[in-house]
Amino acid sequence: MQAEISPLTSQRKRRRQRSWTNAQIMASCVMLLVISTAAGLLLVFFGLLLRTPQKQPIIPGQIFIPHEPNHRHQIPQRLVFTHRYNLLTDDWKEDAQNDMTTDERDELMVLQKNVREIVKKHPSASVEFWTDEDCIVALKQVAPATQQDEWVQYFRSESQGMFKADWCRGVALLEQGGVYFDVDLGVRQNVFEVLQTNTTLATVKVHRQSQHPGAFFQAFIAVAPQHPVMQRYVDLFAEYYAGRNPAKGPLGVLFLRQAFDELVGEQPAINATTELWQEVLYQKSMKPYLSDDFKPPVWGTRRACHFLVVARLEVPLVVPFYSRIAGSRMCPLQQRK
């Protein structure tokens, strides 16, 4: 026999049913509102994305690592230049022993102006200009005690000034570290605005049309003090002059790459604090990916004058250098006879 349900109990049950139904309706409405709002936002987002497509860099290269400004760098703010003459002073102009042609003198004037512009872009950095005699003094300090005279003799006997400069920059950077620039490198900005704070070695890979693909364009080297790659780089020159390293070609370009590969093989962690930028031939198709104030390197008649260095693949591309300035020996302002 079923128990009788009082009218009051039945009424309360119906109210609870209506109450749950109303709650479910409210929840459904809220859910629909959320879904429709999210869908609308997605439509707006994809609409904007389709209307303004992201420009992708056309040059393969480094993975972008966000730069952290206002931090102390592992690489000291010490600028190093090398040349036969100290271009920070005007003494070379009065040197009676200089038997210069007009073209040579004009080029030195251009290089001197360029060096001073680089220095201005690095107002917090110390600056050193190394001549051959400075390199000889330093070679005696870094050479093994039993080989000091040999190293100096190797250096003095080298007839190619560019090979002397290659060895000298390594010696100059070995103990104290710092940043080396070729005197004809077109520096567009303070390099410490581009370098990562934890970087201990930075240089540039040669352009892909080079006869030595994969080698390093060491017109720019930034390095922390007593870096093992720089020590090996210096030693490779001594081995070459002693006949134990039969290299052929641009010695500095080849030896810096060799030193890097050897040390990374022994100490893979070096990779984590190394930046390898890329030398690239400028093309008009790159213009949309460059900043509005970028001036294309179209000076000179030789292809070598038209290269730039890309540090990071952002849009606009981060381009700290031109490979060579107008008015240098390779890129004269007017064709020499």
Q: What is the pLDDT of residues 261-300, one digit of tens each?
A: 999 999 999 999 999 999 999 999 999 999 999 999 988 8
Residue 321 has pLDDT above 80, yes or no: yes
Task: Of 331, 268, 327, 330, give the one whose Cα is nearest residue 110.
Answer: 327
At residue 233, the 3 state secondary structure works out as: helix
Residue 58 confidence class, pLDDT cut points 50, 70, 90? very low
Give the mean pLDDT of 211-227.
93
For the segment 59-88, the average pLDDT, to the nearest whole number, is 68
What local confidence, expressed as pLDDT, does residue 209 receive?
81
Q: Which residues sit opposite 79 in a β-bridge?
A: 127, 179
Q: What is the mean pLDDT of residues 124-128?
A: 92
**What pLDDT is stored for residue 89 in this prediction?**
85
Q: What does the H/E/C string look like for 292-323? A: CCCCCCCCCCCHHHHEEEECECCCCCECCEEC
| Mean pLDDT confidence for 116-120 | 95
Residue 301's pLDDT band (cuts 50, 70, 90): confident
pLDDT at residue number 314? 85
Residues 222, 40: Cα–Cα separation, whole Å: 50
Q: What is the pLDDT of residue 25?
A: 56
pLDDT at 31 over 90: no
At 38 the pLDDT is 59
**Tokens (6 digits) for 159:** 């007839």
Where in the chain does DSSP place strands (E)? 78-82, 126-130, 178-181, 186-187, 201-205, 220-223, 274-281, 307-310, 321-322
Cα–Cα distance for residue pair 277/61, rounded to 1 Å: 8
| Mean pLDDT lowest among 96-105, 211-220, 221-230 | 96-105
Backbone angles phi, psi at 153, to 5 degrees: -65, -40
